[in-house]
A and B are shown apart, each in its own frame.
Chain A
Amino acid sequence: MPITLEEIPGLNATHQSCWQVRALAIDGKSPALAALDAWASSSSDDYKKILKVLRMVGQFDRIHDETKVTKSADPDHGDVYEIRAHKGHARLFFFYSKSDESVIVCTNSFWKGKGSQSAAFALCAKLKALFLRAQHESQSR
């Protein structure tokens, strides 16, 4: 089952001066890109708020404003983060990957009020583990 990193439309080289920003895809499906697509058509305000922060995270080592980026408070989740649409409902989850290249990998999404934020963080952690395992297996071949 191929695991790939997809470019995110709307981000250019200026927005990725420190980190490349990508969306994780498994077998040709990217939950992060699907969420952005859904928000762009149904929740324009939330989409723009997420896009604004997506354009920022790639330019700095870390984002200091917790209204924009928050790390999971659960130590079991490890280092996984959420991009927040401040005063909105959309949340996009990601992790930092520093192997061959510095990459921010966007994994899944959450809509505040629908489901569990903790479960969404946990899902991001599982997707991160899958990505790192696949990357390791690929490098071992």
Chain B
Amino acid sequence: MNPNPAESDTALPADVAELLNRTPATTSALRERLARAAEEADRDPVFHANYLKGLVSQEILQALAERGETQSSLAERLGCTRQYLNKLLSEDRRVNFTLDTICSLAHLTGRRAHLVFVREDEEPHVLRCAKPRAVHRLRDELGSTPDQRRIHALDSEFEIDQPLTTHAHDSSCAAA
């Protein structure tokens, strides 16, 4: 990230200089302490559950913002009160997300939720790509043989230029 750190020849403002005077140096010991603290947090299922609730809440709030929809409107469509939905989205400890609620909220906001389990020494990486389409439908629409050709995916704007295989999913995801 910093092959060439920026240099500043500007004199520091007094409050910045004072802040730096009382800030300890960033040592490797400090970094190791922070790494261990994060690892300890990761071993706490309550911490991880709160983190996932935060992600769910953010995804729904983002979807509402994109759709220009209010929480009241979504609550009505979900079949609950605005107050209850607000408690959910603000991660009020008196309520909790169920998988049913998460999936309903996702569906009502034009999304689908996905759940991945990983081992302790693994990290999930999510690849979002256009939905796979059956090869026979593509061929019927394009009316051509499986030679190299340009295909315009309906769900996204990318183009792929490679031979069709029997796995359209592989083709579309490779292009993404």
Contact = CB atoms under 8 A, between A and B. Distances in A.
Interface of A: 1-14, 20, 22, 25-31, 33-34, 36-37, 40-41, 47-48, 51-53, 55-56, 59-60, 63-65, 67-68, 86, 108, 119, 122-123, 126-127, 130-131, 133-135, 137-138
Contacts of A55: 51
Contact of B8 (A8, A64, A130): A130
Interface string B9-43: 11011011001100111100011111101110100
Given A5-B2, A65-B57, A137 B51 contact: no
B124 interface: yes
Q: Which 4 A-B pairs have the closest CB atoms?
A: A10-B38, A40-B37, A134-B6, A64-B61
A14 B123 contact: yes
Nearest to A33: B26
A57 B44 CA distance: 21
Interface in B68-115: 89-91
B30 to A, nearest CB: 5
A29 B58 CA distance: 33
A33 B7 contact: no
A17 B20 CA distance: 31
Contact of B37 (A5, A10, A63): A10
Contacts of A6: 26
B125 interface: yes
